[in-house]
Structure 1
Amino acid sequence: MTWEELEERLARGQDERTLFLPQDISPEDLARYAAGLANHKGGTLFLGVSPEGKVLGAQDLHPLQVTHALFELTQGLLLPYVEVVEGPWGRVLALHVPQSPAAIAVGTGRVPFWDGRRLSELKVGQSLPEPDFTAQVLPAASLSDLDPVEVLRLRRILEERGSALAALPDLELLFALGLLERVEGEVRPTVAGLLLAGTSLALKRLLPQAEVSYYFHEAEEGYSFREDLLRPIPALLERLKELIQARNRVRYLTVGLFRLEVWDFDQEVYREALVNALVHRDWRSKDAIQVHHYRDRLEVSNPGGFPPGITPENVLRHPPKRRNPRLAEALYRLGYVERAGSGVDKMYRLLLKYGKEPPEYRLFPEALTLVLYNPELDEAFVREIAEAQERLGGFSLDHLIAVGYLRRVGEAGLEELARALQLPEEAARRVLSRMERMGLLRKEGGRYHLARRDLLAERALALLEAPRRRQEVERVLGLSRKRALELLRRLIREGRVERVGRGAATRYRRR
């Protein structure tokens, strides 16, 4: 979170998912407010801020102090991610508190609840979030259903992340990840525990819906390869990566001193799509997740639609909602998901950065399909974006969305661009006005257009101040023979370059 984002969030005030607290609050009261958020919808607690949203500062608090106090005062049930935000008015700690699958008490019998205006005791009969299936213990599940090799895999992942959890003994580690529960004095795995470390036999017996089917299609009709996978999630993701990468093409572009790798399907993007399907699917459904790999697209389908309130039209802006909080929390600690729900942002940013389309969501009555497209590579556009970002100091996601949309449609009005940005029109107008000032857009007759510079031509003209051979143009600009010839012929037609000499002595120079 940047300081500007913090100021914008503080300006909106407190609500049912946002709390402001001063740094001198007692650990007990801090735990009550944090648990109150978790017992409702989860959210963000800003420490070092007045109730009116004024930054007071939290210079004397260390994130580890906060997480340790909350862990102790909630009997290990609450361990938020703490983000430090510093700026001209001081230092603020942002505590990202996940929604709890069960009531968290602070003290004997005290179950706090934050409703957006005040903190109160949870009333008898007041509804908590929908039961989390991944937090449940299946009647036939036992500790022997966990695979020691998969538990070791989890430990290795945590060690690579530098997590303190990696030093815990096996049982304590699994309890800390929410993968074990005590049921009538017996230690047994939760559904999340089986999904992350269960044996193949246990998954087949207890959770056959954990299977993922991968298909590769050489053509639109039929498939040329299929593999059905029933493995714990970390092993499953590794195998899916192997299957996709074996058929994933890469091209290299040179931009200045840098070499860009442009894959048909970016590894971070498709991993995010796969993890989202696992985290947000309806685990009560007996249907499997399906991955269909075509040359021009990758489709990931999972049972269950979006959580209530989220649609394809607002998925980029809607606060995150998790259907399976216990599984999501464990995957966060293992580094597979983002706590603040920035996974969709990441997919958008990486796709648009390389000239691809945003992800497409297709909703069905009981399922959701995410489509990642692989259009023909536009080398000039990718170079232009990379060079413009270097020149302007980086683009925001809004800038990439607007530029990518106008590249596809040519021109658009405010209403159309606001829909693409998933913003109210006034907020979209501010984004577009800033882009006009940056020289990225121009507005004519109420319609917006890209103010694209021909950066490749500019680089070629600078190079051709002195006569150059075609091979030199190819090498310096990182072009193929065909692209170099097309560029030089266009510049000759436009009267900006002339050809000198014939045959092997041919040179090109700027007019």
Structure 2
Amino acid sequence: MTWEELAQRLAAGQDERTLFLPPDLSPEELARYAAGLANHKGGTIFLGVSPEGRVLGASEIHPLQITHALFGLTQGLLLPYVEVVEGPEGRVIALHVPQSPAAVSVGAGRVPFWDGKRLTELKLGQALPEPDFTAQVLPAASLSDLDPVEVLRLRRILEERGSNLAALPDLELLFALGLLARVEGEDRPTVAGLLLAGTPLALRRLLPQAEVSYYHHEGEEGYRFREDILRPIPALLERLRDLIQARNRVRYLTVGLFRLEVWDYDQEVYREALLNALVHRDWQSQDAIQVHHHPDRLEVSNPGGFPPGITPENVLRHPPKRRNPRLAEALYRLGYVERAGSGVDKMYRLLLKYGKEPPEYRLYPDALTLVLYNPELDEAFVRELAEAQERFGAFSLDHLIALAHLKRVGEAGLAELAKALQLPEEAARRVLSRMERMGLVRREGGGYRLARRDPLEERLLARMDRPMSRREVEALLGLSPKGALALLKRLVLEGRLERLGRGPATRYRKRG
């Protein structure tokens, strides 16, 4: 954040997600405000600023003092990103506090809550903190359980991202990522620290459940190859990528001047699936994540179901919840995951743009399986989709979901499409109405169908190098006057032609 950006924020004043606090607060008071913000919607605390937005300065406070204090006072549940902004009027510290998926308490039974105007407290029992296992320090863990090579790998990742964290000394870097905690005067790794930079021996001794088992199947009977991987998460993801890519086919499609690569399993898609399994799994379970690689599907199974409130029917629309905030926050800072979402919409978009099916979730009492299907490539559909996006611009995810569903089933009613979109029927109706106007779908009776390309319209558009009359279109395509007029009206409605003039002088011209 630049000084100019800070000045704009201060001029805008305080709101439900922005707080101005003086520099002389006690650590407990600061922790209560930060926890209250985390328990509401998250936001930013500007430390060293008066309630009116005047810079008071916070030159005596070190950012690590803040992170250590907040970590200790909130039982490891709160570790905001701390940013120092210096300018002509002094020094301001910005604390970027993420919304917490579990209630953050400060002291026994005290759960602060920022209601947008003032700091209050939730009643005991109204919201109970759910401890983050990945923020805990295991009794037998010590600093020697971290691998210097893996710490260097984390630093290289941050350097490639241009992060300021890469310039910190090792211990400060690990504290900033939430991978170290001070326990009784001793620096010790958190569970997240072990998962991201632990030695193989430490993982085997302290977190054997961090193992991921990869299976390759050539048919439905048994498996042909298996490898059990117990490595820190960055190295684990690299090895899984190598195993999957070694058996991953790619096909090439030419659309206009571009060549599309269509993989059996897109690297970004299965990377998101693996990250979701790691971030959202139950790390206290001793079971391992399993990856089953079949020719027609890739299955990723992890212990622990969805977070409370999320189901396979609303996973695309439900606000994100993180079961393991400390691990998720570290992976965000390293660039592996996005802070605001779980990657589900990204998987949907990448799968559907290449004519594949959306991800399928199979929920069990104590586990979750994500299935990525690899159907036969429909080259014509992928080309049509790419060409349509060239005409209209990139489609929204809603458009892609509706098109993919109609491709699979042929025809569907409003209720069925609303379920596929995970939207209320009225919202789904608005999406489909816009798609009708774009010429992507058509309504027949009580259902919707894809508006597939008409060879006559393709022939007309290919030959229309100048404005043409209706009679010229009739002669070119061998149509009746009524048929030619219907075709021309539809192409005008779809925005592919424009009408020039009126009456007998009417001509039609291609757009763009």
Instruction: Provide the rounded CA distance (Å) in 2 between the counterparts of 1:352 and 1:30.
Output: 46
Q: Distance in 2 between matches of 1:425 and 1:304?
A: 31
Structure 2 Cα separation of the partners of residues 341 and 284 of structure 1: 23
What is the deviation of 1:441? 1.3
Judged with a 3 Å threshold, the aligned counterparts in structure 2 of structure 1 residues 177 and 420 are, in CA distance, closer, same or farther, namely same
Q: 2:41 aligns with which of 26, 40, 43?
A: 43
Flag structure 2 segments of 5+ consecutive residues without an equivalent: 1-13, 24-28, 46-52, 71-77, 84-93, 466-512
CA distance in 1, matches of 2:21, 2:433: 45
Aligned position for 2:80: 79
Q: 2-side partners of 1:456 and 1:291: how far apart? A: 48
Question: 1:457, 1:244 → 2: CA distance?
Answer: 43
Question: How does 1:78-227 map onto structure 2 within 5 Å?
Answer: 78-79=79-80, 97-99=98-100, 103=104, 112-114=112-114, 119-121=119-121, 127-227=127-227
Work out whether residues 70 and 79 of structure 1, in 8 Å CA contact, stay in contact via their aligned partners in 2. no
Contact conserved, 1:70 with 1:78, CA < 8 A, in 2? Answer: no
2:299 counterpart of 1:329: no
Mapped contact 1:359–1:371 kept (Cα < 8 A): yes
| Residue matched to 1:498 | none
- The residue that corresponds to 2:482 in the other structure is none
Distance in 2 of aligned mates of 1:318 and 1:417 = 18
CA distance in structure 2 between the partners assigned to 1:34 and 1:96 by the alignment: 7
The aligned runs of 1:399-414 (5 Å cut-off) are: 399-414=399-414
Question: By how many angstroms is 1:456 displaced?
Answer: 12
Map of 2:376 onto structure 1: 376
Question: 8 Å contact 2:101–2:323 — kept in the other structure?
Answer: no
Question: How far 1:37 sits from its partner (Å)?
Answer: 3.2
Q: State the SS of the aligned residue for 2:149.
A: helix
| CA–CA separation in structure 1 for the residues paired with 2:149 and 2:173 | 14
Q: Which residue of structure 2 aligns with residue 444 of structure 1?
A: 444
Match of 1:475 in 2: none
Q: Verify: 1:278 aligned to 2:286, yes or no.
A: no
Q: Does the 8 Å contact 2:196/2:233 carry over to 1?
A: yes
8 Å contact from structure 2 (residues 230, 236) kept in 1: yes
Distance (Å, rounded) in 2 between the aligned partners of 1:22 and 1:373: 41
Q: Give yes or no for contact 1:279–1:328 (8 Å, CA) kept in 2.
A: yes
Partner of 2:287 in structure 1?
287
Q: CA deviation at 1:462?
A: 3.3
**Residue-by-residue CA offset, 1:43-62 (whole Å, 9 max, x unaligned):** 35499xxxxxxxxxxxx99x
SS of 1:214 mapped into structure 2: strand
Match of residue 238 from structure 2: 238
Gap change, CA 1:367 and 1:439, over 3 Å in 2: same
| 1:34–1:97 CA contact under 8 A, matched in 2 | no
> How far does residue 433 in structure 1 lie from its aligned partner after superposition?
1.1
2-structure distance, mates of 1:100, 1:181: 21
Percent identity of equivalent pairs: 79
Cα drift, residue 24 of structure 1:
8.9
Q: Per-residue CA shift, 1:207-261, capped at 9, x if unaligned?
A: 1010000000011101111000000000000000000000000011111111111
Q: Does 2:330 match 1:343?
A: no
Corresponding residue for 1:385? 385
**Residues 247-303 of structure 1: per-residue CA shift (max 9 Å, x gap):** 000011111111111000000000000010011111111111000000110000000
Structure 1 residues 236, 36: closer, same or farther in 2, change over 3 A? Answer: same
* Cα distance change on mapping 1:210 and 1:441 into 2, 3 Å: same
Match of 1:480 in 2: none
Contact 2:17 2:116 in 1 (8 A): no
8 Å CA contact retained: 2:103, 2:130: no
1:21 CA displacement: 4.0
- Give the CA deviation at 1:25: 5.0
Q: Deviation string for 1:9-38 (max 9, x for gaps)?
A: xxxxxxxxxx95487955789997654231
Query: What residue identity is the alignment partner of 1:240?
Result: L
Residues 83-127 of structure 1: CA deviation (Å, up to 9, x unaligned) = xxxxxxxxxx9x772417784769xx9973135886314556764
Structure 1 equivalent of residue 252 of structure 2: 252
Describe the superposition over 1:313-343 as per-residue Cα deviations: whole angstroms up to 9, x where unpaired.
0000001111111111111111111111150
Deviation at 1:414, TM superposition (A): 0.8
The Cα of 1:455 is off from its aligned counterpart by 7.9
Amino acid aligned to 1:79: P
* Aligned residue-pair number: 416
Residues in 1 aligned to 2:81 and 2:185: alpha-carbon distance in whole angstroms: 28
> Taking structure 1 as reference, are residues 409 and 360 closer, same or farther at Cα in structure 2, changes over 3 Å only?
same
Contact 2:101–2:321 (CA under 8 A) maintained in structure 1: no
Query: Aligned partners of 1:73 and 1:188: how far apart in 2?
Result: 18
In the other structure, the counterpart of 2:87 is none
Q: Deviations over 1:376-433 (max 9, x none)?
A: 0011111111111110011000000000001111111111111000011111111111
Q: CA deviation at 1:443?
A: 1.2
Query: What's the offset of the Cα at 1:440?
Result: 1.1
- Residues 231 and 383 from structure 1, CA distance in 2 versus in 1: closer, same or farther, beyond 3 angstroms? same
Q: Residues 192, 464 of structure 1: CA spacing in aligned structure 2 closer, same or farther, 3 A cutoff? A: same
- State the alpha-carbon separation in 2 of the partners of residues 387 and 461 from structure 1: 14
Change (3 A) 1:380 1:151: same
| 1:458 matches 2:469 | no
3-state DSSP of counterpart to 1:43: coil
- Distance in 1, matches of 2:232 and 2:117, equals 42
